Structure 1
Amino acid sequence: MQSAEPLTDLVERARRGDVEAFGCIVTRYQDMAVAYAYTRLGRFHDAEDAAQDAFIDAYVKLASLREPGAFLPWLRAVIRTRCQRLDRRATGVRAGDGSGADSPDAGPGPGEAAEDRQLAATVDAAIGRLPEPERVVTTLFYMGGHSQREIGAFVGVPVATVKNRLRAGRARLRAGLADIARDYVFERRPSRSAAFREHTMDVLREYQSPLTERYASPEMSELFSPHFRYTTYRQLWVALAESEQELGLDISDEQIAEMREHVGNIDYEYVARKEREIRHDVMAHIHAYGEVAPKARAIIHLGATSAYVGDNTDLIQMRAGLRLLRSGLLNVIAGLADFARRTRDIPTLGFTHFQPAQPTTVGKRTCLWIQEFLLDWEDINFRLGRLAFRGVKGTTGTQASFLELFDNDAGSVDRLDDLVTEKMGFDRVFAVTGQTYPRKVDAQVGNVLAGIAQSAHKFSNDIRLLQQLKEVEEPFGSAQVGSSAMPYKQNPMRSERIASLARYVMTTAQSPYFTAATQWFERTLDDSANKRISVPEMFLATDAILILAQNVARGLVVHEKMARRRLMEELPFMAAETILMEAVKRGGDRQDLHERIRGHSLLAGSRVKDDGLDNDLMERIASDDAFGLDAEALATMLDPARFVGRAPDQVVKFLNRDVQPILDAHADLLGRDASLRV
């Protein structure tokens, strides 16, 4: 029974954390969500996955929806984003090519199943040929349960437009197919059972990692997703079978073709049942692969051990993760470089011990941040260049099983190792391993990530301090709220989040060191659970840090007058030596003048610190005839540009020599989106 409560009321309750209210929204709009996802993906199985993920995303992001009445078009945008992500995994096809046809329910005999598949392919193709506006409206209507007004609100068009598109869509479907298509879509509505809603709500009631929910990019989240991992297992099995065939083992083209065809077709429910039965995750996936590729069942994983897929996948994920972080890092450097060029001549007070020191420029200080990120750039490139593949090594690294397969032909075993390495895109392979690749690699990679976190933490600390000084601020949205109790506050939320995540990365990076140090002989399994958590989370958190850092770098605001005001409060003290030298040139006694400046400085300092008044050192010196300097002459000597040394030139030299060549050489990595999800 659906709730009759208005949608806006349900949305408001859900925004306040009422999960059951959101459950009512899922119940009410599950059919619409799946239908819309189907129009973009072409498979109902994929559409259900995308719609469930979209509902979960919507619940997490609900606070960002400013107008509850706009929920339906907002939900449509969330579903569209999820479909795009699912499409990139190449597991689904858009309606229209027929290759993604589903059967409604399991159970029919072989002839009946083939007939169902043919019908599904025919309907998918027919619906897919409709122009998108007509395809969306027609499918939403056929799914049933929603008025044309609701469909219009979801799609964002008037009811009259819905009617016209529906009429045109039905007319385009050839005679007799319109009713078949209506029945086909209607039979696949998720509301026919409670499974869709229950699964969605179960996920919402479980712990979800904030790294994937709130902070990391979709690309990094997808990289460490189960689907990426287990499709990589299958790619590795295909590469192994291909290489074994090329070296003469009895493996047919048909077997390999079947394996290739089903790389992305993973029945996760079957895998879960099998793993509960046999207590071995890799073997469960081998069985699942054999179910969809029965002709190849006998040669899947031939000669290999679990580490062949597990460890090589770890290395593939880390390589891809480092490449993604490399792009993020370069975008941070580019953003800061632009800021440094714009601000190279803006004087500002320097600090040592967070006490006033000689002036510098905003741009020169920015170059110090860039310098640290450049060191991280060098580290990440070095680690990527040295990252080796585990390859084909067997249970304890001796390759004994493969030597047996190739009748003691060591040359073929070496060639097998090289072939698989090449097929998986690596140019280096470990010559020797135990059962696993050296766990020291995880520590080395973690060290690179911790280095990025350290640089970002230092950058964020400086921004937080400068924002308190009101000299430089991170971007602050027009609708952003700094405090629920103090409406005037503009907190450096982004920089604080960088610091928070950076501490997590730096501390988590210690874990791989202990894992590597405590491995026994050829391998112990006490690495596994730790690695499953620490390595992905370091990558996800570092990715989030770089998104934040880029966002901050591109939106930094300088308050020049505030920076000048603070500098001018301290500059008279710093100009003492310049004043002394000028007064001596005009005939003054150096020792007498030195003592006079010391006395005037102490009195001026007391006036500032004890009485809370302005610094009047220049007025005191101007009124002291021993110096022979009037207010105009002193003002000339207090030009901040005289005290910043070579800072502006250093900025130009550093950017032109050390930064710009890297940006030019890797321009293809620039332009990464740094929008924040929350």
Structure 2
Amino acid sequence: MPALRDSAAFPGWFRRIVYKQCDRILRRKALATVPLQDVADQAGTQLSQADALEEREMKACVLEAIDALPEHERTTTMLFYISGYSHKEIGTFLGVAVSAVKKRLHSARSRLRDRLMVSLENTLRETRPSRDERFATRVIDMLKAARAGDLTKVKELLEEDPRLLSARDPMGNTALILAVNSGHDQIAELLLASGVQLDIHEAAAIGKTKRVVELLNENPARLDSYSPEGFTPLALAAHFGHVETTTVLLTRGANVNAISKHAIEVTPLHAALFGRRTETAKLLLAQGADVRVRPREGWTALHYVAAYGFAELVGPLIDRGADIHEPDAGGWTPLDVAEQEGSLVIADILRRRAAASKPSI
């Protein structure tokens, strides 16, 4: 220590040593074992060999993708998703701003999504039927074109093989769902005109209310069913701002507080706000949407409103129990978010409401 040339460099140098050592420990961590005689007692709760193998392969694929990230993104990703640290804690540890942490995570997610898509393509090609290899390749091309908004490619593929209308990826997503979720309306209309038979989630996502009603009349259990991506029809209709479809689903008794099975664990209200759809958000609030739920990513409804500048929703949310002082996963309150995003009107409203809620002495 006395020989250290630059004392100011010590914190960063020490952090790096700690992180690398922890990383080495985790990588060589031994697998847990159980006595052979105990295996029979656990059989009922254990995955089958096939399922366990599939799970291990998926984990290995994800970890390999993480390892391929640039070092600064890999470090941030591991600290946030694997170690469970907040944005603020990571920023303090790495010596960067919270905004930089969020940018790194956003970039990392984008890289991981692209890399895992390539892995998916390779898997599909490896498992495709040998008698129809060209069709398997076209399925991949169709889904990629729908997601990317390549209208010319979608038309070309459909002309070559109309069976691609029903093409799905391993998650169950059709080209129509991918096109709608990516905002490619022209492709969505093309697929509809080509004869796609909408299920209730596709119909809700693109606002085809008549089709939603038909499907509910056939089977009322579809009302709160989940799409392959883990969202209910109500969440999809609200997210894409389809007021008529949202109204019909609410009238039918859709669960306004259903939490998605997607990893982000959002309610229809979060889905509407994330999609910047204030009209459907108001409909959900009128039907008793719980404003206090906080998804896994850490933003309450009030955080979204503060970030996107929806001043008209601040009062209704607080009146229904939204906590002005509740921090997100990174330690940011709705007021912090409003100030960070430059929503000065909302920041002023939050300060006044916070002051009014303090007990008088």
Q: For the superposition of Structure 1 and Structure 2, which TM-score range results when normalised by the shorter chain?
A: under 0.3
Using the size of structure 1 for normalisation, the TM-score is 0.16
Using CA pairs below 8 Å that are at least 6 residues apart, which structure has the higher relative contact order? 1
Using the size of structure 2 for normalisation, the TM-score is 0.27
